[in-house]
Amino acid sequence: MSETYQIPFLETVAQKVYKEHKGDFTKIIIVLPSRRAGMYFKQYFGQVIDQITIAPAILSMEGFAERLSNLVKADSVTLLFELFKLYKKKDKSITIEKFAPLGKSLLREFNMIDNNLTADQADKMFDHLREAKAIEHWASSLGDDETIEKVKEELLSKKESMQDFLEFWENLSSTYFDFKKELKKQGLAYGGLAFREAFDKLEERIEYLGVEKVIFAGFSQMSGVEQSIVQTLTDLGKAQSYFDADKRYFKLHHEAGHYLRRYVSGFAAQHVDFQKDWWSTHNKSVSLKAISNTVGEAKFAGEWLTGLLDTPQKREEFKTTLNHTAILLPDEALLPALLRSLPSITFEDGSTLAELTNITMGMSFSKTPLFDLLRVIFQLQERIRENDEAVLCAYFKDVQNILRHPYFQYTNSIKEFEEISTSILNEITEQQMVWIPLEKLREWGDQHPIYAAVFYFWANDYRNALKSLNDLVTTLADVLKANPDVLGISSSEGIENSFEGELLVQFYKILKRLEDTLPQFAQDNGQLSIYIFKQLLLELLRGATVPFTGVPIAPLQIMGMLESRALDFKNVLVLSCNEGKLPIKKTVEAIIPFDTRTQFGLPTYLDNDAAFAYTFYRLFHRADHLTFAYLDANSGSDAGEMSRLLLQVKEELSEDPSCKINLDSSVWLLSKADKTMSEPVSIQKTEIFAERIKNRLKRGVSPSAVNSFIRNPLTFIDEKVIGLKDEDEIEEDLDNRTFGNLIHLALEWGLRRMIGLPDKDEDTPFVLRKKDFDKALNDKTFIPKLIKDVAKEENVEMVRGQNLLLKAVAENLLQRYFRNQIEEIEASETGAITVVGLEKFVDHQFDVEIDGEKVRVRLSGMADRIDVVDGKLRVVDYKSGGYTSADLTCKNWMELLEDEHKGKLLQLIIYRYLLTSAGFDKGNANFQKKITRANFLLQKEGLPQIDLSKGVASGFYFFRKITDGLKSCKMDQPLGEFTDLEFLDKTEKFIEELVKKMLDTSILLEDVM
C-alpha cells in the first residue's frame, strides 16, 4: 500500500497564519484545545517561518480565559472552604463533614452552569428547579384514594422536613450568586467563572491587550460561553476559526458532528475547508485486535512497536518524523503495565526508544503506590482502639497491608527493610495477634523513622496527621535515595529526576498547601476532624498527576484520548477499546436533573459522548495505520463488549465503497507457554522418595497422615514426606479447624474443672458422675468462663462479629454435650465414667515385609479421651462437624484403601489398634502405668476395673449430632466380634498393603488437574 505524506492539521494552520499575518504576530493570539497542541503548533510554526520573528501568543482555551478574566484559578480546597463559609450562613447546623460531599458536587454544578448559561438564564433555571422540586415534594404526599383532609394532615406533619427540602433549593440559587461575587472580590475563580468573566469583559480586555485577531483552531466541542466568546469576536471581525472535519460528520445524527453542525451557520461559516472526505484521500489500514486480558493488551503494544521498527529504514524514518507514532490510552490504569512492556530498541546512533518516547498524560496520583499506602494509613488510623489495658492497638490487617507495601520491602543503609517488615509479619502471625500495640510496632521496627511516622496515633487531630505525613515524606526520600528506581521506571540520574522523587514532591506540595489553608479554616470553624482532612487530602491527590521526564516533541507519544485533540500521527494504536472506556461510561448527574439540563441547554452525558466520538473519528483523517485493541468478552473477561464506535466504523466502511481504508479483524494471542506447563503435575516415586517414605514411616504416621495418602498421594508427599507447609495466616474469624480446636480444649479443661483438677493436669485419672455435670450446667458462669479462658489460651478474640456468634454456638454445644454425658452415665451399669487420660499420645511400632525387606512402621495418634465405662476401655474422638452413616460402614478392609470417604472409620480402627496393642505390649511402660493408676482409682471408688479381655471400644462424638451419642463403626462383621489377636492381625495386614502401595516405584503420583 503506497503512503504519501499527509500534512498535519496544525501544520496547515501554521502555514495559513504565517501567510495571512506575516508582519506583526504580536497582535494575534492562537487558541488551541490543549497545551500539548500548543507545543506542536510552535514546532510547526518554527518550520514554516523563513526569518527570525517574535512568535504569536499560543494559549489553550483555559489559558485564554484566564488572561481575559484577570482572575486567578483557585485550588479545590480553597473553593470548598469559601463555599462552606457562605453556605453555613444560610444553614447554621451544617458541618464541614456533612458539607464536603455536597460541596464538591455544587462546585461541579456551578462550573457547568457558568460554562453554559448567562446570569439571567441561570436565575430562570433555579426558579424552574425550585418550583419543580416543590411540586415534586407535594405530589409525593398524594395517593390515589386519599382524601383532601388526609393530604392536609400529612403536609402538616411533614412541615419541618418539607421546609428544609425547599430551603435547600432556595439556598442553591442564592449560594451560587453570592459565591461568585465573593470569589471575584478576592480575585479568585473556578474554571467556569473565569470563562464567564472573560466573556463579560471581552471587548474591554481585547482592546486593552491590543489584539487584532484571535485564531481558534482544532475545536469540536465548545461550551456555551466558549461559543459566545468565539461568536462575539467573529462579529467584531477579530476572530478566525479553523476546523478539522469530515463530510460524514454533517449527516443527521452522526455523533462526531453533534457540535460542528451547530457552528456551520455561525462563526464556522468563514472556514472554507470545513468539509473534506478524509476516508478517501489516501490509502490507510485499520486493524481491530481482540485480546483476552489487560496484560495481553500491554504485551501486544510492545509487539506492535517492535514490528513497526523492525528494519534500519523504519527506525531511521521513526527518528526523523515529528508525528510518527501515538499510543492512546482511554484507560489510564493501563499505563504502568504498558511502560514495562515497551521493547528495548537501540538505534544506529546509540539512542534508545525510551529516549525518543514522551509520556504526555502523566500518571494519576491515585494510581501510584504512595496513594495506596496513604489509604491504608488512614484506614489504620480509623480503626485504632484501646485494648483492655488501655493500650492503643492497630488492626492486624492494616498493619499487614502496610508492611507488605513495596515501600517497606527495600534495603536501607541503616538496616534491611525487608528483614524488619518480614520479622514483624512473622511475629504477628506466630502470636496470632489481631490487635497489635502501636508501641510494640515501633519497637519491632527498631524505632526507624518510617515506623515512628506511620504507627503514630493522630488522636483525630489534623495537625498530628500533617506532622506524621511530613515525617513520612522525609523518611521516604531518604529511603529512595538509597534505593532508586522503586517502580522500575525511574531515571538513572538519582531521586531528583526519578518518578518516585516527583511523586514525593507532588505530595509534599499538597501537604504544604493544606498546612497553609487548614489553620485559618479551623480557627473560624473549630476543630477539623481527621475525616474531613482525609477527604480533602485524597481529593487533592486524585486530581494531581505525576509527570514523566521526557522529550516533549518525540516520535513516540503515549497519551490519553483527549490529549490527542488537534494532533495527527502516521501510526496510531488505541488500547482498551471497550464500552465504558471508549467512550467513558455514563455518569450519574449530581444535583441538577437530566430533564432540567436538557431544557436549559446544559450538557449531559450525551454531549460527552459526542465530544469523545469526534476525538475518535478524527484519528482517521491523516493516519496511515490505525490499530484498535479491545478485550474480547468471549475470552471470559468482564470487560464488556467491543466499543460501539468500532462497530459504527465497520458499518460505515461497509456502506462506503469509495473509501480507501482496508479493515481487518483478528484475535491476538500471547505466545504459547511450554506444553509441559499444561500437563498434570506428577512425581515419580524414585528410590530417594522411597527412602524418605520409609523414614517417615519409622518416625511415625498418624491416622490423618494415612487418610491424607488415601485421599491424595501428592498431598501426603508434600506435607508428610517433604514437609511443605502453607503459609500461616492470622485467623480473625475462626475457621472450622480452629473452632474445632477450641471445642477440644474446652472439653479437656471443662472435664478436669468439674472435679477440681488443674486445667493442664496430664496424668491424674478421675471419675465423673451425674452430679458433676449437673453442677456445671446449673452454674451459669461455668461454661462462659470456660470458653473465655480457652479463647485467651488460644489467643482468639470472641467479643465481636462472627466470632461472637461462634462463642454462643460453642456454649450451646458444651451444654448439649454435658446433657448427653448425663444420659450416658444414667444408661451405664455403674453410673460413672472414669477418665484415664485426655489428649493422650499413643503409639505402637511393628515390622512389615516388603519384597524381602523389613520396614519399620510406627503408628501414632493423639487420643482426645481414653476412658472406662463398666470396666471396658474406650478411646473417644471429638468431631465438631457431622457425619453420614455411609462414612462409618465398610464392606471389607480393602474398601478402606479405595474410598477416601472412609477416613473417619479408618481413624477409629487405628485408635482401637493402638490401644489394643498397648494393652498387649508389656514393654509399653507409659500405657501400662496409666492402666495401673486407673485401676487403683476404680478399686478405690468401688467400680469395675479395666478388663482388657473385653477388648477396646472406639467411637466419635459428633457435635452437630450430639444427641446420637457415641458412634462406632461397622464392617463385614462388627469389629467387636473379632478377638483381639484377630483384630491386630487384620489391621497389620491392612497397613502392610498400604505401605506396599506407598513404596511401589512403578506408580506415578498424579495431581488431578
Given a contact cutoff of 8 angstroms between Cβ atoms, the answer to whether 545 and 510 are in contact is no
| Joined grid coordinates for residue 382 | 480509623
Q: Is the dihedral of CA 332, 337, 339, 344 positive or negative?
A: negative
Q: What is the pLDDT of residues 726-749, one digit of tens each?
A: 555 565 556 677 788 888 899 999
Residue 980's pLDDT band (cuts 50, 70, 90): low
For range 942-946, the mean pLDDT: 89
Residues 466 and 575 in one domain: no
Residue 856's pLDDT band (cuts 50, 70, 90): confident
928 or 482: which carries more pLDDT confidence? 928
Strand runs labelled E in 751-832 = 766-768
Residue 92 lies in a domain: yes
- List residues bridging with 60 in a β-sheet: 32
Q: What is the pLDDT of residues 790-816, one digit of tens each?
A: 888 877 777 777 788 888 998 999 999
Q: Is the dihedral of CA 12, 13, 14, 15 positive or negative?
A: positive
Residues 326 and 249 in one domain: no
Measure the N-to-C terminal CA separation of the chain; round to a whole number of Å: 49
The predicted structure's pLDDT at residue 2:
41
For range 312-334, the mean pLDDT: 92
| Joined grid coordinates for residue 1006 | 498424579
Residues 92 and 226 in one domain: no
Radius of gyration of the chain (CA): 40
Q: Is the omega angle on the peptide bond into residue 784 within 30 degrees of 0, that is, cis? A: no
Residues 334 and 401 in one domain: no
Q: Give CA–CA dist 805/812, Å, rounded.
A: 11
- Boundary-marking domain end, from 827, 849, 878: 827
Residues 183 and 264 in one domain: no
For range 940-955, the mean pLDDT: 84
Residue 720 lies in a domain: no
Which helix (H) or strand (E) segment holds residue 929: the answer is helix 925-941
Residues 790 and 754 in one domain: yes
- Boundary-marking domain end, from 195, 227, 255: 195
| Joined grid coordinates for residue 101 | 460531599
CA distances for 24 relative to 27, 32, 207, 342, angstroms: 6, 20, 17, 45
Q: Give CA–CA dist 913/843, Å, rounded.
A: 10
The predicted structure's pLDDT at residue 148:
43
Length of the chain (residues): 1009
Q: What is the pLDDT of residues 53-71, one digit of tens each?
A: 888 999 999 999 999 999 9
Residue that has been written with the C-alpha cell 479462658 in this structure: 789
Domain that holds residue 215: 9-70+201-276
Q: What is the pLDDT of residues 446-461, one digit of tens each?
A: 778 889 899 999 998 8
Question: What region does 187 belong to: left with phi over 0, alpha with psi -120 to 50, or beta?
Answer: left
3-state SS, 92-146, equals CCCCHHHHHHHHHHHHHHHHHHHHHCCHHHHHHHHHHHHHHHHHHHHHCCCCCCC
pTM value > 0.75: no
Question: What region does 362 belong to: left with phi over 0, alpha with psi -120 to 50, or beta?
Answer: left
Nearest CA-CA partner of 500 in 549, 564, 560: 549
Give 176's contacts (C-beta < 8 A, 6+ positions apart).
Answer: 110, 113, 122, 126
pLDDT tops 50 at residue 824: yes
The predicted structure's pLDDT at residue 3:
55
Give the neighbor-by-neighbor strand order of the sheet with 625-631: 357-359, 556-559, 325-328, 571-574, 625-631, 284-291, 661-667
Given a contact cutoff of 8 angstroms between Cβ atoms, the answer to whether 747 and 815 are in contact is no
Q: Give CA–CA dist 356/322, Å, rounded.
A: 11
CATH number reported for the structural domain that contains residue 312 in this entry: 3.40.50.300
Residue 480 lies in a domain: yes
Residues 402 and 496 in one domain: yes
Residue 89's pLDDT band (cuts 50, 70, 90): confident
Residue 811 lies in a domain: yes
DSSP string, 964-985: G--B--B-SS-GGGS-HHHHHH
984 or 17: which carries more pLDDT confidence? 17
Q: What interhelical angle do 736-754 and 801-827 show, nearest 10?
A: 50
**CA angle 875–881–887, rounded 5-degree value:** 70
Q: What is the pLDDT of residues 524-558, one digit of tens each?
A: 666 678 888 998 898 888 888 887 767 788 999 99
519 or 719: which carries more pLDDT confidence? 519
Residue that has been written with the C-alpha cell 479568585 in this structure: 188
Residues 505 and 564 in one domain: no
Q: Give CA–CA dist 8/56, Å, rounded.
A: 20
- Boundary-marking domain end, from 785, 804, 827: 827
Residues 160 and 263 in one domain: no
For range 309-338, the mean pLDDT: 91
Q: Give CA–CA dist 692/476, Å, rounded.
A: 49
Q: How many domains does the chain have?
A: 6
Residues 522 and 393 in one domain: yes
Residues 909 and 1003 in one domain: yes
Given a contact cutoff of 8 angstroms between Cβ atoms, the answer to whether 701 and 732 are in contact is no
Given a contact cutoff of 8 angstroms between Cβ atoms, the answer to whether 832 and 769 are in contact is yes
Given a contact cutoff of 8 angstroms between Cβ atoms, the answer to whether 345 and 352 are in contact is yes
Question: Coil, strand, or helix at residue 854?
Answer: strand
pLDDT tops 70 at residue 1003: no
Residues 287 and 260 in one domain: no
Give 324's contacts (C-beta < 8 A, 6+ positions apart).
Answer: 317, 318, 555, 556, 569, 570, 571
Q: How many CB atoms lie within 10 A of CB 453?
A: 20
Residue 1001's pLDDT band (cuts 50, 70, 90): low
Q: What is the pLDDT of residues 291-310, one digit of tens each?
A: 988 889 999 999 999 999 99
In percent, the amount of the chain with pLDDT more than 90 equals: 35
Q: What is the pLDDT of residues 873-904, one digit of tens each?
A: 888 888 877 778 877 777 777 777 777 777 78
Q: Buried b vs exposed e over 790-814: b needs ≥16 C-beta within 10 Å?
A: bbeebebbbeeeebeebbeebeebb
CA distances for 171 relative to 89, 117, 130, 167, 600, angstroms: 10, 19, 10, 6, 20
Strand runs labelled E in 133-238 = 188-189, 213-217
Which of 18-22, 475-479, 715-719, 936-940 shows the lowest mean pLDDT across its residues?
715-719
Which helix (H) or strand (E) segment holds residue 865: the answer is strand 853-869
Question: Coil, strand, or helix at residue 628?
Answer: strand
- List residues bridging with 291 in a β-sheet: 631
Nearest CA-CA partner of 32 in 23, 24, 44, 40: 40
pLDDT tops 80 at residue 463: yes
